[in-house]
Amino acid sequence: MSEVADIFRDSEDCFKKKYSYFLRTEHYHAIKDIISCRTPEMGYGTLSACPNCGKRHFMWQSCGNRNCPQCGHEKVTRWLQERQKDILPVDYFMATFTLGQEFHRICRQRPREIFEIFFKTASTALKELALDKKYLGGKIGMMGTLQTWRRDGEFHPHIHFMIPGGGLSNDGKYWLFPKNRDFLIPAKPLAILFRNKFRAALREFGLYEEIAPVAWSKNWVVDIKKVGKGMSSFKYVAPYMQRGFIGNNRIVEYDGINVKFRYKDGRTDEIKYRTLNALKFMLLYLQHVLPSGFMKTRYYGLEASANKQNRREIRLLILT
């Protein structure tokens, strides 16, 4: 079965010549790591023995790049184990913020600045609206993770926030449940507040004029819904934290020229197929590589690391 590494290896030189204008340092690193991962190019590996038969197995070292389709499984497993320990005994909500197509060009050109603004404005809008006594009137916590693709690989920047259902009173003495347990905060005013904060931030950074005016006259959509006790949704977002938009198991066919891969339509759940020239496939894949060192998963409020020591007290407040 062909893998992403095979496609990159075959087309590396041609891709670099044709799309040199597109490539940043992190793109070069991703290409190199994906091609080298678990091959002699890594230079070293691990020798292990089967606990049942004692037979020894050698495996070349993994690259560890978060954009590599072969890496990240162990990190995701460890992260889910930690989330299991930290999860609160309440229903969780998922809020999804999306940037429209008017922002795609600047996201590609200035990813670090725009995605920093994206995280800050979306998380602040959530916290501010939750503090409003009309809705919750408490301090909330959240974990947000950035995803930049649709299932077919096209550019679609959005952030999923996982939010415990409720918040801490301002004096820290009570856990406040939503008045309606199926409803945390309203999506429409949240979208308006987010849009206003995002626009103000772009003005502050001198980027406002780079956005088409039509973007501000549109209705911005934020989706927020109850997702149950939390772990199922954490399992949903976990793989996106440590891999590219497609795994090797979704490559259906590669003949050295074209790549055919499958994906599930998000609206109909129908399995669909897409065929691209190898160079176009590499471009599709690499457009989702984030700047080096950029934190694509972040924690806020009660979920922030500074508040980890209070988790036991919060659990007691919830259960009493």
pLDDT in tens, 175-194: 999 989 899 999 999 999 99
The DSSP string of 77-115 is HHHHHHHHHH--SS-EEEEEEE--GGGHHHHHHSHHHHH
How much of the chain exceeds pLDDT 70, in percent?
99
| Residue 308 predicted with pLDDT over 70 | no
Task: Decide: 98 and 164 in contact? Cβ < 8 Å.
Answer: no
Q: Which domain holds residue 176?
A: 72-242+301-320
Give the lowest-confidence range in 76-80, 137-141, 149-153, 204-208.
76-80
Residues 35 and 76 in one domain: no
Residues 183 and 307 in one domain: yes
**pLDDT given at position 222:** 95
Q: Are residues 80 and 207 in the same domain?
A: yes
Average pLDDT value for the chain: 91
126, pLDDT greater than 90: yes
Q: Are 115 and 202 in contact (CB under 8 A)?
A: no
Is residue 292 situated within a structural domain? no
The per-residue pLDDT for range 19-38, each reduced to its tens digit, is 999 999 999 999 999 999 98
Any domain includes 295? no
Distance CA 258, CA 254 (A): 6
Do 1 and 146 have their domain in common?
no
Q: Is the same domain home to 165 and 186?
A: yes
Is residue 293 in some structural domain?
no
Q: How many structural domains compose the chain?
A: 2
Cβ(94)–Cβ(230) below 8 Å: no
Whether the per-residue pLDDT at 229 is higher than 90: the answer is no
Q: Does one domain contain both 167 and 90?
A: yes
Average pLDDT (243-247) is 83
pLDDT at 82 exceeding the cut of 90: no
Judgement on whether residues 52 and 188 belong to the same structural domain of the protein: no
Q: How does residue 52 score in pLDDT terms, banded at 50, 70 and 90?
A: confident
pLDDT, one tens digit per residue, over 252-293 is: 999 999 999 999 998 898 999 999 999 999 999 999 999 999
For the chain, percent of residues with pLDDT exceeding 90: 68
pLDDT recorded at residue 313:
86
H, E, C per residue of 217-254: HCCCCEEEEEEECCHHHHHHHHHHHCCCCCCHHHEEEE
141: tokens are 């916590």
Q: Do residues 286 and 21 lie in contact, with contact meaning Cβ atoms separated by under 8 Å?
A: no
Quote the pLDDT of residue 54.
Answer: 72
pLDDT at 73: 76
Query: Is 294 inside any structural domain?
Result: no
Same domain, 110 and 205: yes
Same domain, 254 and 268: yes
Same domain, 204 and 163: yes
Q: Is the pLDDT of residue 51 over 80?
A: no
Residue 29 burial (10 A CB sphere; 0-12, 13-18, 19+): middle
- Amino acid making up residue 13: D
Q: Which of 18-27, 42-51, 205-214 has the lowest mean pLDDT?
A: 42-51
- Dihedral (Cα; 194, 286, 272, 243), 10-degree rounding: -80
pTM of the model: 0.91
178 assigned to some structural domain: yes
Average pLDDT on 245-251 reads 92
- Would you say residue 296 lies in a domain? no
pLDDT attached to residue 156 = 96
Mean pLDDT of 55-73: 83
What is the dihedral angle through the alpha carbons of 294, 295, 301, 305, rounded to the nearest 10 degrees?
A: -120
- What integer pLDDT is reported at residue 309 of this predicted model? 62
- CA–CA gap between residue 223 and residue 226 (Å, rounded): 10
State whether 232 and 198 are in the same domain. yes
Q: Which two tokens stand for residue 28?
A: 């070069």
**Same domain membership, residue 95 and residue 18:** no
Smallest CA-to-CA distance from 8 within 246, 295, 241, 263 is with: 246
**Separation between Cα atoms, residue 241 and residue 120, nearest integer Å:** 19
Instruction: Evaluate whether residue 6 is within a structural domain.
Output: yes
